[in-house]
Amino acid sequence: MKKVYLDYAATTPVDPEVLDAMQPYFFDKFGNASSLHAYGQEAKKAIEDSRKMLSEFIGAKPEEIVFTSGGTESDNFALLGTAYALEKKGNHIITSAIEHHAITEPAKFLEKRGFKVTYLKVDKDGLVSPQDLQEAITDKTILVSIMQANNEIGTLQPIAELGKITRGKGVYFHTDAVQTIGHIPVNVDELNVDLLSLSAHKFYGPKGVGALYIRKGSRLETFMRGGDQERGRRGSTYNTTGIVGLGKAVQLCQKNMSNEIKSQSALRDRLIREIPSLIPKVRLNGHSVKRLPNNVNFSIKYIEGESMLLNLDLFGIACSTGSACTSSSLEASHVLLAIGLDHETAHGSLRITLGRWTKESDIDYFLEKLPQVVQKLRAMSPLYEKD
Ligand SMILES: *Cc1c(COP(=O)(O)O)cnc(C)c1O
């Protein structure tokens, strides 16, 4: 059976060149990067090469990068690390209503421990208003965390503009850039951010490795204790293979990015154009232009996302409803509710995300099968008949 993967926002395959780069560090060059002998120094050098590659890629200095176990750890580190370092200064944190759970859950944890959290509303396209941010900042605010691109609806926030506001008020600014790194240009100075999270498996690197960018001079309480790695900011034996893979993935994204933006946004725009002409009663979620080049999200009325996924899966097509973390529960996505959808419409959402190996023929196949699936499910839906 034909297999078509359209779920690159959930995870990406490791690029074969990334795998090749990692391979020697499992056996021949297996040393512990903290060891002083040649084995250790060889691993250490590879890690520092990756650090340099990543820092240049995002316009940072090598010493401003801390490698972590991925996006979730980086997000937790940013929130908890700032909260604990600055709790004497203030106890107020601002974030948005559409963040990933890796932000909203630590935010809720902090709320239970005496911190106040403001969740900024978004408009119907998923955008945070700079004026709302301006008005929400008080003299107790220590941190603002707003994601650069939403993982479900693909909307891109005006991060540089929001960062100007936080800078003017002397408040730390964190962005979860897990969906943007490797997909669109990202520069920490242009974005005016102090902290930035990224994860390798979202840009053709291995799972379980990521980084937190920490602007020089920012005070963060250590999150992982037990070793002096990463200048004492994160204990744990260096994940050499993962870090080498991350560096190689960065290098490949640097090389391919402008072509991939062009080819993926052309396929994205074809889906955005053709889905409404093939299927009545659909709604595009997310901003029409301020969105990731690889993200498409539609609500398809009268049917459930879960049934759509399973029926598409029978044709070998993989996509998503909401985010991979929420789709195993039957709660409607907090992101779709925040942009104003009712529960029923939110339940019928389909996310299609494209990547390095998506071909025009994959989109042809998808556009052939999706209307068949929708027709079949709507024929069984009592809601559809009434309308
Ligand atoms: C995937 C994702 C995360 C979590 O990253 P992991 O490396 O899987 O822990 C966090 N934020 C966003 C926006 C994501 O898409």
Q: Are residues 151 and 277 in the same domain?
A: no
Same domain, 61 and 89: yes
CB-CB contact of 271 with 296 (8 Å):
yes
246 membership: H or E segment, kind and range: helix 240-278
Closest Cα to atom 14 of ligand 1: 178
Indicate the residue among 194, 228, 252 that finishes a domain: 252
DSSP 31: -
For helices 71-86 and 101-112, the axis angle rounded to 10 degrees is 30
> Pairing state of beta strands 195-199 and 172-176?
parallel
Q: What is the number of other CB atoms lying within 10 angstroms of the CB of residue 66?
A: 24
The side-by-side arrangement of strands in the sheet containing 282-284 is 282-284, 295-300, 349-353
Q: Are 192 and 294 members of one domain?
A: no
Catalytic residues, by residue number, are 325
Q: So what's the pLDDT on residue 68? A: 98
CB count in 10 Å sphere of residue 17:
14
Q: How far is the CA of 100 from the centre of ligand 1 (A)?
A: 7
Residues 237 and 301 in one domain: no
Per-residue burial over 355-372, b if 16 or more Cβ lie within 10 Å, else e, is bbebeeebbebbbebbee
Asked if 140 and 122 sit in the same domain, the reply is: yes
Pairing relationship of beta strands 317-318 and 4-5 according to DSSP bridges: parallel
In one-letter notation, the amino acid at residue 34 is S
- How many whole angstroms from 178 Cα to the centroid of ligand 1? 6
Provide CB contacts within 8 A for 16, sequence distance 6+: none
Helix ranges restricted to H, 61-212:
71-86, 101-112, 130-136, 159-169
Tokens of 57: 């890629």
Separation of alpha carbons 74 and 76, rounded Å: 6
State the CATH number of the domain containing residue 154: 3.40.640.10
Same-domain check for residues 40 and 75: yes
Ligand 1 centroid – CA 64 distance (Å): 20
Q: Do residues 135 and 102 share a domain?
A: yes
Residues with Cβ within 6 A of ligand 1? 70-72, 75, 100, 102, 147, 151, 176, 178-179, 199, 201-202, 210
262 and 311 housed in the same domain:
yes
Q: Would you say the C-alpha torsion 198, 204, 205, 209 has a positive or negative sign?
A: positive
Structure tokens at 274: 């053709």
Which residue type sits at 205?
A: G
Instruction: Tell me the whole-structure pTM to 2 decimals.
Output: 0.97
Check whether residue 154 and residue 266 sit in a common domain: no
Domain count, the chain: 2
Residues 95 and 220 in one domain: yes
Instruction: Specify the CATH number for the domain of residue 267.
Output: 3.90.1150.10
Q: List, for residues 67-109, the tens digit of each pLDDT value.
A: 999 999 999 999 999 999 999 999 999 999 999 999 999 999 9
Range of the domain at 262: 4-12+257-386
297 membership: H or E segment, kind and range: strand 295-300
Single-letter amino acid code for the residue at 163? G
pLDDT at 329: 56
How far, in Å, from the CA of 208 to the mean position of ligand 1?
A: 10
Residue 3 CB neighbour total at 10 angstroms: 10
Distance CA 35, CA 61 (A): 24
Residues 231 and 379 in one domain: no
Q: What pLDDT is recorded for position 146?
A: 98
Q: Whose CA is nearest to atom 4 of ligand 1?
A: 71
Q: For 10-26, how does the pLDDT look when each residue is reduced to its tens digit (9 = 90+)?
A: 999 999 999 999 999 99
Alpha helices for 128-224 (secondary structure H): 130-136, 159-169
Q: Of 218, 252, 286, which one is at a domain's C-terminal end?
A: 252
252, 282, 299 — which closes off a domain? 252
* 232 and 284 assigned to the same domain: no
Q: What is the residue with the minimal CA distance to atom 6 of ligand 1?
A: 71
Nearest to 63 by CA among 165, 208, 181, 216: 216
The DSSP call for residue 221 is -
Q: How far apart are CA 129 and CA 121, in angstroms?
A: 8
pLDDT at 1 over 90: no
Q: Residue 344: which pLDDT band, with cuts at 50, 70 and 90? A: confident
Whether 253 has a pLDDT exceeding 60, the answer reads: yes
pLDDT, tens digit (0-9, with 9 covering 90-100), for 352-378: 999 999 999 999 999 999 999 999 999
286, 285, 334: which is closest to 108 by C-alpha?
A: 334
